[in-house]
């Protein structure tokens, strides 16, 4: 048998769903996980427990793997270079992945490529933040240029490591971690979009339809595929932009480009993620080939699957932890109410606000599809009780 | 967390695909498997190695499971009764499952229910077979009534344990195993159909569309969903018959009713299987809820999912082992040729004629969908090389 071994670093839900998508391909899937309780560790046969920040652990794990890929972007870049030097294919590779690890590097690269981004600059302290804010005031304009968005260049996710500050006085906190801080203009956006693409080592790439992504409290809440009422030319421009970024950065696997759609009809790049992404979860039930299946195919350099939608509308709503720890008993109501509902739970303990699953719905009538997904997610969380 | 533990007895591909379908539900899945190389054992986290024919092994495995279900029908009926006496829900239960384990019991029960079957009788030896054959010759008719189909009442599958005999002299072999032998008329059928239904403990049941199943050498080769050109009334009758059998036999989980469609427009029951079935594999990509997902929901007494098709036509073709042990390298051609192709491999070593996977295709044009599935399966097997 020549079926390859895919080594997945990180035991979260993305690894869990990638394993699920890999089963039909008959490949072997090996997991490096922190604990046996991790989301993916519960469902994968070959689990190695260990710390991805330790190079020896990574090296031992990588031995016998045909390729290494990731559940998250936190593996130190130098470790990835060491694995590559050992002859292990790392996908995406460190030269690409650094753009998803370090927001400073990402902004610099996108600037060089001419990709539209929010105005931004690495800042050195609260006074520098005030100066950055002031630079955004048009000549003869009023105000001090605040609010400004501050981000630590490494380590943030789901709203963590991000601050919206309204004055220099508020701007002290982000500098306390000792990590470089990126200041960005607070974009007056109409909505957030995401362009998801997948690229393989030999350069084949596919683009999923651009989706609308609605955030609540900095956390993704709802994704609608495709984005409703999106101008066709703008959708095409966003897809081309994502494909171009994937190519120029040498991405292998899934790339999510989070975008702001501005009032004046432009799209600006907010964030990059180089792994299957929350904004692509709809594809599990809504696309011919899911983001997870295509990520596996890409990292194995297999021809990619068709990313087109299977339904007119697909809606994903995240299930966050609420006050009730028992979500299983809610299945009875949710499944009986909607026999077409797709529940995806991650095997995680319920904690308030924690992403513990998502639901997908699809159909021809967007209002109906949205209502069904919201109802199910709310009922599972416990915020809807009838 | 109150998420239940499903105990699956048997490590074949049906267990593998049931695990895949159970991952999104967040349940725990525990497997009793013969070897770590078994199809499902490769992809499941909690694997117990042991012999399902040993009651102590079964008892130890069942401890801590909320429900027990099966990859195959070979667990001795008395062991299942012992587990039930221990207080472990066994689904399907022994009183139902015996009808899929023992063809003699199955025929007797279907007769009592008035379900149309081929003419049949338990026979005691070659001379009795000749007598059975002669009974089938109409008054004033010619010939000796052969050929006749002989089946051992237990232990057969995929054409094993089945003989088509043309004379009493040929009829000695089936009796050598010392298992009771069932004689059946050789039905002059137009084609084979299958009616797949799923039933839950509290009596909810769903019916998948009736499919056409094409066999080659006693092994399922191609399934077309729904069965082309099937009279609507006949399709409805077949679905109702399967639902009625599930109810009357007290089936919990998936029931496949294999049917002969006769020249005079009737359907006769050929075989029953009480587990996800090869004739339902199309549902993984072709139905809103797959047979595997619905089997899991049924054994957990959760509301069942919608069984309706997502595409006009879905075709499943089995991938059998050929002369080439390396099917992975064939992925390049198959995936590049057809980005919509769905490959499902079971992680099994290739042996000539062995079922090692299947492919699904779907679309609006049956000829195209059939061609794509056949090409991919043939290419993977090595019988098509361009």
Does B332 sit within 8 Å of A2, measured CB to CB?
Answer: no
Q: CA A110 to CA A242: how far, in whole Å?
A: 11
One DSSP character per residue, A129-143 reads: HHHHHHHTSPTT--S
Binding residues of B for ATP, by number, are 103, 151, 184-187, 192, 270-271
Measured CA to CA, the distance from residue B135 to residue B131 in angstroms comes to: 6
CB contact under 8 A, B23 and A16: yes
- B310·A305 Cβ contact <8 A: no
**Cα distance between the two ends of chain B:** 52
Chain A: closest CA distance from residue B336 (Å):
5
From the CB of residue B51, how many other CB atoms can be counted at a distance below 10 Å? 11
Q: Which of B43, B330, B351 to mutate to test the interface with A (most CBs of A within 10 A)?
A: B43
The average confidence (pLDDT) of chain A is 96
Mean pLDDT value across residues A188-207: 97
* DSSP conformation class of A287: B
The answer to whether the Cβ–Cβ distance between B47 and A45 falls below 8 Å is yes
In the beta sheet, which residues pair with residue B292? none
In this prediction, residue A159 carries a pLDDT of: 66
CB–CB contact B342 A303 (8 Å): no
CA distance B272 to chain A (A): 26
Angle CA A359–A363–A369, to nearest 5 = 50
Q: Which residue of A has its CA nearest to B41?
A: A45
The rounded distance, in Å, linking the Cα atoms of A288 and B311 is 11
pLDDT per position as a tens digit, B232-259: 999 999 999 999 999 999 999 999 999 9
The pLDDT score that the predictor gives to residue B159 is: 66
Residue B1: predicted pLDDT: 47
Quick one: CA dihedral B49, B54, B60, B61, positive or negative? Answer: positive
Tokens coding A303: 């021809």
Whole-angstrom distance, CA of residue B261 vs CA of residue A287: 36
Cβ of A340 and B305 within 8 Å? yes
DSSP assignments along B66-119, one per residue: SEEEESSS-S-HHHHHHHHHTT--BSS-HHHHHHHH-HHHHHHHHHHHT-----
Contacts of B329 in chain A (CB under 8 A): 2
Residues of B in contact with A326 (CB under 8 A): 1-2
Shortest CA distance from B311: residue in chain A: A310
Q: How far is the alpha carbon of B373 from chain A, nearest alpha carbon, in Å?
A: 15
Q: Is A351 annotated as a binding residue?
A: no
Chain centroid to Cα A343, Å, comes to 19
> Residue A2: its chain B contacts at CB < 8 A?
326, 328-329
Residue B156 DSSP symbol:
-
Binary contact (A302, B332; C-beta < 8 A): yes
ipTM confidence score: 0.96
Q: Kindly state the average pLDDT of the residues A375-379.
A: 97
Optimal mutation site among A18, A303, A337, A348, interface B, most CBs of chain B within 10 A: A303
Q: Is A270 annotated as a binding residue?
A: yes
Taking CB atoms and an 8 Å cutoff, what residues of chain B touch A341?
305
Q: Give the residue from B73, B165, B75, B158 showing the smallest Cα distance to B123.
A: B165
Separation between Cα atoms, residue A239 and residue A307, nearest integer Å = 12
Nearest to B331 among A302, A325, A331 (CB): A302
Helix/strand number for chain A, H first, E second: 11, 17
Average confidence (pLDDT) over A178-191 = 94
Q: Report d(CA A140, CA A160) in Å as an integer.
A: 35
d(CA A325, nearest CA chain B) in Å = 7
Return d(Cα B5, Cα B89) in angstroms, integer. 12
Q: Tell me the residue ranges of DSSP E strands in A142-237.
A: 148-152, 162-165, 181-185, 189-199, 205-207, 211-216, 219-225
Burial class, A384, CB count within 10 angstroms (exposed 0-12 / middle 13-18 / buried 19+): middle
Q: What is the CA angle B280-A306-A42, rounded to 5?
A: 60
Q: Encode pLDDT of B260-310 as tens digits.
A: 999 988 999 999 999 999 999 999 999 999 999 999 999 999 999 999 999
CB proximity list for B213: less than 8 A, separation 6 or greater: B192, B193, B194, B220, B222, B223, B258, B278, B279
What one-character DSSP code corresponds to residue B122? E
* CA distances from residue A191 to A110, A164, A212, A223, B207 in whole angstroms, order as listed: 21, 18, 7, 12, 43
Chain A nearest-CA distance from B76, in A, is 28
d(CA B31, CA A8): 23
CB-nearest to B306 from A332, A339, A350 is A339
User: Which pLDDT band, with edges at 50, 70 and 90, does A158 fall under?
Assistant: low
How would you write the pLDDT of chain B (386 residues) with one tens digit per residue? Answer: 489 999 999 999 999 999 999 999 999 999 999 999 999 999 999 999 999 999 999 999 999 999 999 999 999 999 999 999 999 999 999 999 999 999 999 999 999 999 999 999 999 999 999 999 999 999 899 999 999 999 999 876 666 789 999 999 999 999 998 889 999 999 999 999 999 999 999 999 999 999 999 999 888 999 999 999 999 999 999 999 999 999 999 999 999 999 999 998 899 999 999 999 999 999 999 999 999 999 999 999 999 999 999 999 999 999 999 988 889 999 999 999 999 999 999 999 999 999 999 999 999 999 999 999 999 999 999 998 87
Residues of A in contact with B3 (CB under 8 A): 328, 345, 347
Per the prediction, chain B carries an average pLDDT of: 96
C-beta separation of B222 from B164 below 8 A: no
pLDDT for the residue B241: 98
A349-367 pLDDT, tens digit per residue, is 999 999 999 999 999 999 9
Locate the chain B residue with the closest alpha carbon to A310.
B310
A306 → chain B, closest CA residue: B339
Confidence of residue A1 (pLDDT cuts 50, 70, 90): very low
**CB distance B339–A310 less than 8 Å?**
no
Predicted pLDDT of residue B157: 64
Query: Closest to A303 (Cβ–Cβ): which among B2, B17, B332?
Result: B332
Query: Could you report how far apart the first and last alpha carbons of chain A are, in Å?
Result: 52
What does the pLDDT look like over A47-63, one tens digit per residue?
Answer: 999 999 999 999 999 99
Interchain pair A303, B339: CB under 8 A: yes
- Percent over 70 (pLDDT), chain B: 99
Map out the domains of chain B with their CATH numbers.
5-90 (3.40.50.20), 119-185 (3.30.1490.20), 189-381 (3.30.470.20)
């Amino acid at each position: 048998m020549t079926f390859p071994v895919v080594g997945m670093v990180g035991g979260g839900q993305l690894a869990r769903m990638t394993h699920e998508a890999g089963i039909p391909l008959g490949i072997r899937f090996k997991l490096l996980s922190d604990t046996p309780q991790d989301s993916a560790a519960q469902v994968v046969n070959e689990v190695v427990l260990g710390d991805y920040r330790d190079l020896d652990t990574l090296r031992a794990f990588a031995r016998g793997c045909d390729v290494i890929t990731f559940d998250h972007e936190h593996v130190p870049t130098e470790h990835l270079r060491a694995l590559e030097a050992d002859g292990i294919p790392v996908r995406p590779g460190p030269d690409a992945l650094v753009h998803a690890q370090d927001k400073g590097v990402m902004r610099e690269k996108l600037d060089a490529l001419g990709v539209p981004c929010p105005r931004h600059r690495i800042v050195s302290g609260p006074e520098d933040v005030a100066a950055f804010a002031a630079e955004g005031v048009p000549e003869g304009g009023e105000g001090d240029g605040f609010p400004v968005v501050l981000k630590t260049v490494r380590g943030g996710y789901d709203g963590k490591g991000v601050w919206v500050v309204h004055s220099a006085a508020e701007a002290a906190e982000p500098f306390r971690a000792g990590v470089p801080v990126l200041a960005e203009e607070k974009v007056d956006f109409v909505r957030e979009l995401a362009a998801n693409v997948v690229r393989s080592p030999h350069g084949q790439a596919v683009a999923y339809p651009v989706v609308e992504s609605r955030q609540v409290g900095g956390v993704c809440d709802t994704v609608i595929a495709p984005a409703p009422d999106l101008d066709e030319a703008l959708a095409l421009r966003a897809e081309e932009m994502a494909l171009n970024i994937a190519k120029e950065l040498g991405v292998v696997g899934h790339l999510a480009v989070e975008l702001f759609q501005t009032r004046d009809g432009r799209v600006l790049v907010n964030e990059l993620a180089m792994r299957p992404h929350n904004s692509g979860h709809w594809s599990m039930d809504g696309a011919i080939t899911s983001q997870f299946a295509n990520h596996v195919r890409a990292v194995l350099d297999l021809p990619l699957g068709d990313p087109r939608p299977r339904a007119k509308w697909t809606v994903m709503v995240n299930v966050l932890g609420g006050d009730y720890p028992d979500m299983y008993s809610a299945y009875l109501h949710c499944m009986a109410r909607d026999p077409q509902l797709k529940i995806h739970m991650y095997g995680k303990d319920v904690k308030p606000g924690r992403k513990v699953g998502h639901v997908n719905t699809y159909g021809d009538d967007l209002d109906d599809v949205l209502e069904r997904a919201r109802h199910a997610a709310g009922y599972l969380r416990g915020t809807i009780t009838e």
